[in-house]
Amino acid sequence: MRLELKKTFLSKRGWWIYFLALGPVAITVLHWLVEARLGRGAGNRHSIGEDSIIFAGMFLFYYLRAGIFFGAMGIFSNLFRAEMLEKTLHYYFLTPLRRELLVAGKYLAGLIVAVVLFGSSVVLAFLTIGRHFGASWTDYLLHGPGLHQLGAYFLVTVLACVGYGAVFLLSGLLFKNPMIPAAVVWVWENLNPFLPSLLKKISVIFYLKSLCPVEVPIPPPFNVMVVDADPTPFWVATPGLLAISLILLVYAAATARTTEISYSD
């Protein structure tokens, strides 16, 4: 895991993942600076509640449906696939190490990197989006629902990294081109609001959305096409996602045990 942490953080293939993580922070910091420059009186143009809804929309439509999804794809699918492309995976396979532990070490390294990048991004973006309100924002964080919302967003971020990480680690082992299964999963996840209630539950985004603390209103005409479904309670969504991720990791470990290296393919 220590070796993989260094390689994953400094991977030349993953430079674009840093931009995915830093993009929302740049937007919220710019929002803070512009509002602060316009003066405190201009802050009355919108309320803290409106900023919280804007962040909820950013979290749902950017972080969950794009940023964390593609970031996890870039991090986890390359844990094995990049080694095959660079013709270095056989060094791991020649060591006296159980392949189940190799999968676990690579997965934990990727998970730490993903949580550090996107968890930090979510925390910084949330703390800065309403910073221009000054003392009112501090009071919202310390004495209002702010810290509870921040904790919920961070938990959802971690669970998203756990779930999507397991999916893309397995796809990196099974497919020569992980982009193909990633495209299929991405289309399915983004079609989730328009699917029947039963099919909604066969996706990661449905359970993650159930854990988000602020509901994002759907504007017309899309609200007509959205199929309502009862959100999954916390005590079901969290263990369910962890269980599915564990099943995928067990299957990935079993696949790694029988994987043979052929760099000529």
Q: How confident is the model at residue 226 (pLDDT cuts 50, 70, 90)?
A: low
**What is residue 66's DSSP assignment?**
I
pLDDT for the residue 178: 79
Report the alpha-carbon angle 235-114-59, nearest 5: 60
Q: Quick check: pTM over 0.85?
A: yes
Residue 263, in any domain of the structure: no
13-68 residue pLDDT tens:
778 999 999 999 999 999 988 888 776 544 456 788 889 999 999 999 999 999 99
Report d(CA 254, CA 251) in Å as an integer.
Answer: 5
264 is a domain residue: no
Cα–Cα dist 81/168, whole Å: 10
Q: Is residue 219 part of a domain?
A: yes
Q: What is the pLDDT of residue 263?
A: 59
Tracing tokens 């067990």 back to the chain, one arrives at 250
Are the C-beta atoms of 141 and 147 separated by less than 8 Å? yes
Give me the residue label for tokens 């193909």: 180
Structural domain total, the chain = 1
| pLDDT tens per residue across span 167-194 | 999 998 888 787 888 888 888 888 777 7
Range 63-98 burial, b when 16+ CB lie within 10 A, else e: bbbebbbbbbbbbbbbbbbbbbeeeebeebeeeeee
Provide the domain limits for residue 224: 2-257
In a domain, 249, yes or no: yes
Cβ neighbours for 200, distance < 8 A, ≥ 6 positions apart = 192, 206, 227, 229
Q: Rounded CA gap, 259 and 110, in Å?
A: 20
Does the pLDDT of residue 221 top 60, yes or no? no
- For 19, the token pair is 């931009």
- 232 in any annotated domain: yes
Model confidence band, residue 224 (pLDDT cutoffs 50, 70, 90): very low
∠ at Cα 167 (184, 21), nearest 5°?
90
Q: Distance between CA 54 and CA 47 in Å, rounded? A: 11
Q: At residue 149, does pLDDT exceed 60? A: yes
Report if residue 265 sits inside a domain. no
Per-residue pLDDT at 44: 53
* pLDDT given at position 264: 61
Quick check: is 214 in a domain? yes
The dihedral sign for the CA sequence 70, 182, 56, 39: positive
Is 206 a member of any domain? Answer: yes
pLDDT digits (tens, 9 = 90+) for 83-137: 877 788 878 888 888 989 999 999 999 999 999 999 999 999 999 999 888 888 9
